[in-house]
Structure 1
């Protein structure tokens, strides 16, 4: 099965699989600053594609709603035009319709043209152990078509036992780790750094690794090129697929 992925910017990517069109964490604002309760986030680059150019989607996969680098003002406006928005349970409560809340390992079914796609929510931890009361709830997603290998979208998480459990349950053919080693308030990262991404590649031993969330924000500490250097040095380079923003990339799995 072929899968097409288009990086819009930051954590936002359009995934086309088996006739379904899914958008991850929508961010469509121009560069600017966002004052959160405990930190200011600065967006450095705008999206590589407009909402009009993206067109209709079948669902939005929203890992969490509480941080502007995963859901900015333009992203919130986009949610109102999406037929379905899958997110955390608390996030669905805050957002209201059409958001649907999923706990880890719960599933939702998408149907279109006689085809179905199963979306399974997966555990995620947005930083080191103990960060949950500060960072809030986050989920990832596994997309399981009727035929073909699943796709794993990590959401904002570090590598930990929850990610390893996803690998034990699903033999994913493509993995989209939210990388960039995001860092804000403390001397720790809130998303995967190069080591975490390599560990993710190790447990998903048959997957093509397609990182997102590596560009466009001032608090991202590592880039896609840092991942390229690390993967090449460790002999994993052939499994890393870097995306050029705005360019539709087809991956055969």
Structure 2
């Protein structure tokens, strides 16, 4: 297993730019300015503008869209950006809504992208549960993604999910060198989390034993109740030094 270099850069919320194996990838594009979004009688407030323009990120070989139906994962400007990407990969139900050539995957289904220098990137959709047990029919389909190339360790992107038993097989099936956790303990409706809190993040880190860990989607919105700093404190408290805290628009080069 050879080491491979990865560059990641946090853009905003769940939007992460990834350079891996010669490809340029983007997760859940959100580029709107600060505003209020209606949510069934409540409002979600976005506080920050993204620190870079969508055009500055081009070309993008693929957008990895965990789900299309929540504005904090695909906003208006993010939706307008999708046709600029080489591919859009999302849930099977989301692909039907977005139409066109969007690639839809159920959990454990795969698609591939040719690499510039030969070989292929395999993208595997992974399970996600966007809240407590039983919420799936209410909140809709979500997936995560594992990125794999032959001879190298994998990248795991959780998508919006809490830690639950359905994620255990990800650790069992893949040799994850970098895990990107959607954290923040989001509570858009009522007193329950729909994304990972610090305990969930520590559970995930314990399964991916020697992987580098980073987090996204845990600042800049009114419904996050745990900050990146609180997550960092939790990791330090238990003596886990593998957490990489990202700053918007600051590239980080890793070897996994």
- TM-based fold match above 0.5: yes
Q: Using the alignment, how far apart are the partners of 2:184 and 2:252 within structure 1? A: 20
Which residue number corresponds to residue 223 of structure 1? Answer: 227
2:84 to 44, 56, 81: 81
Q: Using the alignment, how far apart are the partners of 1:146 and 1:57 within structure 2? A: 22
2:40 to 19, 37, 41: 37
Which residue number corresponds to residue 66 of structure 1? Answer: 69
Q: Give unpaired runs (5+ residues) of structure 2.
A: none
Which residue number corresponds to residue 103 of structure 2? Answer: 100
2:163 to 151, 159, 166: 159
Which residue number corresponds to residue 111 of structure 1? Answer: 114
Q: Using the alignment, how far apart are the partners of 1:13 and 1:130 within structure 2? A: 29
After superposition, what is the alpha-carbon deviation per residue over 1:21-44, rounded to whole angstroms, capped at 9, x for unaligned? 110000000000111335421111
After superposition, what is the alpha-carbon deviation per residue over 1:119-141, rounded to whole angstroms, capped at 9, x for unaligned? 00000000010111111100000
Aligned-pair CA distance for 1:165: 1.5
Which residue number corresponds to residue 212 of structure 1? Answer: 216
TM-score by length of 1: 0.97
1:22 to 25, 32, 36: 25
Which residue number corresponds to residue 138 of structure 1? Answer: 142
CA contact (8 A) 1:87 1:101 kept: yes
Say which SS state the counterpart of residue 189 (structure 1) adopts. Answer: coil
Q: How does 1:232-247 map to 2 (within 5 A)?
A: 232-236=236-240, 238-247=241-250
Say which SS state the counterpart of residue 166 (structure 1) adopts. Answer: helix
Q: Using the alignment, how far apart are the partners of 2:213 and 2:51 within structure 1? A: 21
After superposition, the CA RMSD in angstroms is 1.0
After superposition, what is the alpha-carbon deviation per residue over 1:194-227, rounded to whole angstroms, capped at 9, x for unaligned? 0000000001111110101111111011111011
CA contact (8 A) 1:80 1:98 kept: no
Q: Using the alignment, how far apart are the partners of 1:32 and 1:95 within structure 2? A: 23
CA contact (8 A) 2:52 2:249 kept: yes
Q: Using the alignment, how far apart are the partners of 1:109 and 1:39 within structure 2? A: 39
Q: Using the alignment, how far apart are the partners of 1:145 and 1:17 within structure 2? A: 9
Say which SS state the counterpart of residue 244 (structure 2) adopts. Answer: coil
Q: Give unpaired runs (5+ residues) of structure 1.
A: none
Q: Using the alignment, how far apart are the partners of 1:162 and 1:6 within structure 2? A: 28
Equivalent pairs, count:
252
CA contact (8 A) 2:21 2:115 kept: no
Structure 1 runs of 4+ aligned residues shifted over 6 Å read none
Say which SS state the counterpart of residue 234 (structure 2) adopts. Answer: helix
Q: Using the alignment, how far apart are the partners of 1:174 and 1:39 within structure 2? A: 35
CA contact (8 A) 1:83 1:98 kept: no
After superposition, what is the alpha-carbon deviation per residue over 1:137-179, rounded to whole angstroms, capped at 9, x for unaligned? 0000000022310000000000001111211111200000000
Q: Using the alignment, how far apart are the partners of 1:117 and 1:37 within structure 2? A: 39
